[in-house]
Chains A and B, each alone.
Chain A
């Protein structure tokens, strides 16, 4: 369900904080549309650091596998990357949907390592929000009284257990299945 304990603005603040601490830059430089790699100079170590910080902050589990991996598992080998290691046209269609607004930067035949450029401050914040929005209606103890702890952690008001959100990998899989049902890409 769409959670309303943590405001969008709060998520954005935490994302900016994780980036500022992860890359060690002035938070004032971080704009929602900034590309972490292109504009803020993030390297692969920084991406791991930032994602891990966000997991700890919100008690969520981000994806351990890429969208590309999930496409190939669901729709077969070479459905996302051809034998030369380039993105297929079908994978490009899916990615363009995922990175709404960046469609013109994604093209068939591009290398996988050009993908991190697409990760922006707001795409990261949206990713966090979509995980938080998988908050179940009720806790496994049956209670329906979520509350906020330490400003960013949703816990059960009855048993104090942390909320269990859908994982990033499960969410990508669900999304891909939905895309396939709607658009029949593969």
Chain B
């Protein structure tokens, strides 16, 4: 059994400015559920920034990362859901799930925090032959 980890930090005001200038970009990055959840909050961009950081951290943990060419739909394959007690969980599908399967990931965990103008997310993946 081993651990894969990824961390990412996002400037809330930068994401906000970007999404206000290009509203259509939100649906390229966030799933419908994520948008519904975040835009119902008093400070939606704080929550969106935390989710973006979580997606990036998850891609980093899997050694994927963004290519810089085009608009990577892998971001849509990772969904942050508010679990019981409010602790966030990661749901993965599609190519991200496949990449995780190849690296024998059996557990996805995420932790998100905000302070001032920054949101940070840390993703830890448990992987191995016999882990549960």
Binds B, one of A61-69, A100-108, A141-149: A61-69
Chain A: CB-nearest residue to B18: A49
Task: Tell yes or no: A36 within 8 A of B by CB.
Answer: yes
Binds A, one of B33-41, B69-77, B109-117: B69-77
Which residues from chain B contact A67 at a C-beta distance below 8 Å? 67, 69
Which interface residue of B18, B67, B72, B103 has the most chain A CB atoms within 10 A? B67
**Docked CA distance A65–B66 (Å):** 10
Task: Tell yes or no: A4 within 8 A of B by CB.
Answer: no
**Docked CA distance A81–B28 (Å):** 25
Which residues from chain A contact B7 at a C-beta distance below 8 Å? none
Is there contact, CB below 8 Å, between B14 and A45? yes
Which residues from chain A contact B52 at a C-beta distance below 8 Å? 45
Task: Tell yes or no: A52 within 8 A of B by CB.
Answer: yes
**Docked CA distance A147–B15 (Å):** 35
Task: Tell yes or no: A112 within 8 A of B by CB.
Answer: yes
Known contacts A37-B68, A52-B24, A62-B71: A45-B10 contact under CB 8 Å: yes
Could you tell me the distance in whole angstroms from the C-beta of B10 to the nearest C-beta in chain A? 7
Is there contact, CB below 8 Å, between B69 and A48? no
Task: Tell yes or no: B43 within 8 A of A by CB.
Answer: no
Task: Tell yes or no: A116 within 8 A of B by CB.
Answer: yes
The DSSP consensus for interface residues of chain A is: helix
Contact with A along B35-55 (1 / 0, CB 8 A): 000000000000000001000
Task: Tell yes or no: A56 within 8 A of B by CB.
Answer: yes
Task: Tell yes or no: A185 within 8 A of B by CB.
Answer: no
Interface size counted on chain A using CB atoms at 8 A: 38
Could you tell me the distance in whole angstroms from the C-beta of B34 to the nearest C-beta in chain A? 15
Task: Tell yes or no: B3 within 8 A of A by CB.
Answer: no
| Residue in A56, A65, A127 whose beta carbon sits within 8 Å of that of B73 in the complex | A65
* For the complex of A and B, 10 pairs with smallest distance between CB atoms: A113-B65, A63-B70, A116-B68, A85-B63, A119-B68, A64-B73, A62-B70, A66-B67, A47-B68, A44-B66
Q: B residues within 8 Å of A by Cβ?
A: 10, 14-15, 18, 22, 24-25, 28-29, 52, 56, 60, 62-74, 95, 102-103
A selection of 26 A-B contacts at a CB cut-off of 8 Å is A45-B14, A45-B15, A45-B18, A48-B18, A48-B25, A48-B71, A49-B18, A49-B22, A51-B70, A52-B22, A52-B24, A52-B25, A52-B71, A62-B69, A63-B71, A64-B70, A65-B70, A65-B72, A66-B67, A83-B103, A111-B63, A111-B65, A112-B63, A112-B65, A113-B64, A119-B69
Q: A residues within 8 Å of B by Cβ?
A: 22, 36-37, 42, 44-45, 47-49, 51-53, 55-56, 62-69, 77-78, 81, 83, 85-86, 111-113, 115-116, 118-119, 127, 168-169
